Amino acid sequence: MPESTASITSENTAQILPESTAQTRASAEAAGLPDGRNGMDDKNAGSIKNDGNGNNDGNVKNGKKRRKLIGLLAAAAVLIAAAVGIGIYNAPSNRMNRALDLGARYLEEQNYEQALVEFDKVIAIDPMNVDAYLGKAEAYEGMGDTEQLLAVLQTGYEQTRDSQIKTELTDTYLEQASGYEQSADYESALTVYDKLQELDGEDQKIQDSLSSLLLKQASDYVSNGDYDKAFEVYDRLLELNGDAPEVQKALGDLLNDYLRQLIDKGNYDEAKSLIEKYQDKEKDVDFQAYLDEIEEIERIEAENKEFLQKVFDLMAAQDYRALCELCKVYDYDPAYETVFVTRFVERMEQDSLVYVPENNVDQTGKGAGIYRYYEENTMYYYFYYGDMINGSREGEGSSFFMINFSYISYIDGMKNRYGYYVDYNYAVSQQVKSYGGSMLSVPDSLVSYFVFTGHWENDAPNGEGTLERNITFIDNIRPAYQDAICSGNLVDGLWDGPVIKKVFDNDFNYTFDLSFTAVRGAVQEDVTEEFKDLGFQLYLKEGAKIYAFDLYPDGLRSLYSWIDEDGLAGIFGFGKTG
């Protein structure tokens, strides 16, 4: 028997015993038994009197024995009843119910610490008690301790597998994940969703909430330009909810945007790998159109590379006659309809195309390029060979420009068939009525090309440089007809300062001096009126001026340089070449 039960006294029994025990005590008192026991106290226990004759009274003796026995039995009954009452009071179920009631009362009073004590008592008695776990969870929620709240619900669910605890646990996790999501702490939110999926990976509510979170995370990665991370998120989305319309649309938009970027940057292998990965997973993207586009671009780039490699080799060897042949063939020969310079230049997406054989990715080193420019709405092009840094011409380099032309007859009206009239002019005296004399019947017999060599900075000629011009017979049998050379300082491709210009006529073995001065391309001299006074016939545009001339030894002809009104003298592609 517990120590507390052995020490119970008559004065406090009625306070702690059940109602049946108190009634037993009252019946004993009604029978005249003090304190509800057998009527014998310590004083009367040995005081049985005799009959005065020395003999005991048997009836009295027997009666007293019976009363003593009855008293002992009654006392035993009282003690048994008390013990039974105490046992009932302390039964586990009664203690558990009292603890639950106290815990609920403490929750109402917001005495969360005491509530936890009571609910722990319940769990100690019955680890499967759902109400105790829910009560502890409510106490921790009141205390603002989310981690302990989740821990209690997790333990409760593991112990009981109760659906109500599972619902509370799911909702609490979702609320926690939502808080992380609102603060854009996606990694913490995803950690919570990992726990939710362990809890119930098939719960549609969890899947929908997770999909929404992942779409936001992917969008943030795209906004920050981190496409690799964005695609990692979409890979998870495809596994989770790949057929969802919102997932397909968002992924399709990303693929269209990123594939376009890759193709525009020339990252064709990466684009093809991306197409291969997603072409069976994403339904809203026309992957075949991208593949067709890449195939066409790669075909064109192969042609471009082949052509620019030829330019690179010929420029490196300074084989300018071969470059003339290359340009003429590619421009006019029907056998080269698939690849020729004019179409090559026209299809360029930008005004330059650069090729550096040793490092074309960074486009740094010795390279070649083709450059497009316009004068009076007419397209021209020239080549460059030399030092390059990131595709910009920096260091020492040379450029090449060619024009095909034929002489024009002013006697029989024959017209030139190709090209443009070059930037040197013969002034014809009144006695001489044609250009070129006996060559009138030989169209396309001459070709003129220019070569500039000098220092380049900021993708333009800056510093000292020399411009050479050569007019030669294209049949490569006769020697050059005429050469010219200009040298001086340049600023952004325009002559700046004194410019020495010499022209050599090999037929007459004569050198002409056409030197001039310019300030950032603006020619300072004007000898137009002086030239007119010599009586030569002029074919100049309105407003144009002659800034240098020299006569042939016979005095009947002259060679002169002219420029348009407001024109600037410089290197082809930057100013007027003259």
Q: What is the 3-state secondary structure (H, E, C) of 219-237?
A: HHHHHCCCHHHHHHHHHHH
**271: which residues sit within 8 A by CB, 6+ positions away?**
259, 262, 263, 290, 294
For the beta carbon of residue 156, count every other beta carbon within 10 angstroms: 26
From CA 450, how far away is CA 194, in angstroms rounded?
Answer: 71
Q: Would residue 231 count as lying in a domain?
A: yes
Q: Are residues 259 and 315 in the same domain?
A: no
Residue at 155 is within a domain: no
pLDDT on residue 41: 42
* Same domain as 370, residue 276: no
Paired residues of 562 in beta bridges: 546
CA angle 129, 132, 133 (to 5 degrees): 90
**Domain with 241 in it:** 214-285
> CA–CA separation, 140 vs 148, rounded Å?
6
Cβ-proximal residues to 389 (8 Å cutoff; 6+ apart), any chain: 364, 395
In terms of domains, do 326 and 222 share one?
no
Same-domain status, 390 and 490 = yes
Please give the Cα distance from 50 to 33 (Å, whole number). Answer: 23
Other beta carbons within 10 angstroms of residue 81's beta carbon come to 19
What size, in residues, is the chain? 578
Q: How many other C-beta atoms are found inside a 10 Å radius of the C-beta of residue 338?
A: 7
Q: pLDDT (tens digit, 0 to 9) for every residue of the chain, 578 residues total?
A: 333 333 333 333 333 334 444 444 444 444 344 444 444 444 444 444 444 444 445 454 555 555 555 555 566 666 665 555 555 656 778 888 888 999 999 999 999 999 999 999 999 999 999 999 999 999 999 999 999 999 999 999 999 999 999 999 999 999 988 898 888 898 898 899 888 888 887 888 888 888 999 999 999 999 999 999 999 999 999 998 888 899 999 999 999 999 999 999 889 999 999 999 999 999 889 999 999 999 999 988 888 888 899 999 999 999 988 888 777 654 444 444 444 576 677 778 889 999 999 998 899 999 999 999 888 778 888 999 999 999 999 999 999 998 754 433 333 333 332 222 322 222 222 222 233 333 333 344 567 889 999 999 999 999 999 999 887 765 555 556 678 899 999 999 999 999 999 998 877 788 889 999 999 999 999 998 888 888 776 777 778 888 888 888 877 777 888 888 888 999 999 988 76
Residue 343's contacts (CB-CB under 8 Å, 6 or more residues apart) are none
Beta-bridge partner residues of 472:
447
Decide if 121 is inside a domain.
Answer: no
Q: In whole angstroms, how far apart are CA 571 and each of 423, 448, 450, 495?
A: 12, 15, 9, 8
Kindly report the number of other CB atoms within 10 A of residue 518's CB atom.
25
Q: Are strands 545-551 and 510-513 parallel, antiparallel or unpaired?
A: unpaired
Task: Dig out the tokens for 155 from the structure.
Answer: 């333990």
User: Has residue 467 been placed in a domain?
Assistant: yes
Q: Does 263 share its domain with 309?
A: no
Domain count, the chain: 3
Last residue of a domain, one of 255, 285, 315: 285
Question: End of a domain among 233, 259, 285?
Answer: 285
Q: For residue 135, tell me if it sits in a domain.
A: no
What CA–CA distance (Å, rounded) separates 118 from 562?
108
At which of 228, 260, 285 does a domain end? 285
Query: Is position 137 within any domain?
Result: no
pLDDT at 438: 32
Tokens standing for 307?
């052509």
What gap in Å lies between CA 555 and CA 508, rounded to an integer?
13
438 and 315 in one domain?
Answer: yes
Pairing of strands 497-505, 522-523: unpaired
Q: Which long-range contacts (CB under 8 A, 24 or more apart) does 173-181 make?
A: 173/199, 174/205, 174/206, 174/209, 176/146, 176/150, 177/209, 177/213, 181/213, 181/216
Give the separation between CA 447 and CA 470, rounded to whole angstroms. 8
Could you tell me if 279 and 305 lie in one domain? no
Q: Is residue 447 part of a domain?
A: yes
The continuous run of DSSP H or E covering 269 comes out as helix 268-278
Q: Assess whether 256 and 305 both reside in one domain.
A: no
- Residues 569 and 563 sit within 8 Å (Cβ to Cβ): yes
Looking at residue 479, its pLDDT comes to: 59
> Could you tell me if 243 and 340 lie in one domain?
no
Q: In three state form, how does the secondary structure of 23-48 look?
A: HHHHHHHHCCCHHHCCCCCCCCCCCC
Q: Between vectors from CA 337 to CA 331 and to CA 340, what angle results, nearest 5°?
A: 40
Same domain flag for 326 and 238: no
Question: What amino acid occupies position 393?
Answer: R
Radius of gyration (Cα) for the chain, nearest Å?
Answer: 55
Q: Are 242 and 340 within one domain?
A: no
Does a structural domain hold residue 107? no
- The per-residue DSSP string of 156-209 comes to HHHHH--HHHHHHHHHHHHHHHHHHHHTT-HHHHHHHHHHHHHH-TT-HHHHHH
CB neighbour list of residue 459: distance below 8 Å, 6 or more residues apart: 392, 393, 394
Are both 275 and 309 inside the same structural domain? no
- Report the distance separating Cα 196 and Cα 201, nearest Å: 7
Per the confidence metrics, is the pTM higher than 0.75?
Answer: no
Those residues with Cβ within 8 angstroms of residue 125's Cβ, 6 or more apart along the chain or in another chain: 92, 95, 96, 99
